[in-house]
Structure 1
């Protein structure tokens, strides 16, 4: 299998996508690629979301489909790690 590297990135797109998808599955997320856009050559956009909660979504952009998907999955992890998806909800007292 061909590996796709972007200058300045540590891992191939294929490795990043596989790792992100597996970690999300391990955490109980069922991510689907809801829509793709390719308005002009070398410009891709993807909207991904959790099948059980469509409000947990991100968008990724890139020069290729793989780059856009890796971008969206990376953004999903950023939003999880900062509680962005749940920022507007009371989750209980965290001082206990």
Structure 2
């Protein structure tokens, strides 16, 4: 849907945990504009925009591999999502 955007804010854990959470969302939103990467940050963000979706409005398929084994995180992570009501509902 045009104008669909989701911003994800992550705190806790390390950069690998933030990337694992973002990769879990790729199945619904496609690739983010950029993966979290700052090792020294205490809060990391990723943005998914409508451009990441296919022309049909369906989400892009999730990439295979590259995530943490079994989806386990090294520490608790707090995730906050902001965006259109549709995008937030889809993230849930």
TM-score, length basis structure 2: 0.29
Rg larger in structure: 1
Q: Using CA pairs below 8 Å that are at least 6 residues apart, which structure has the higher relative contact order?
A: 2
TM-score, length basis structure 1: 0.29
Higher strand share: 1
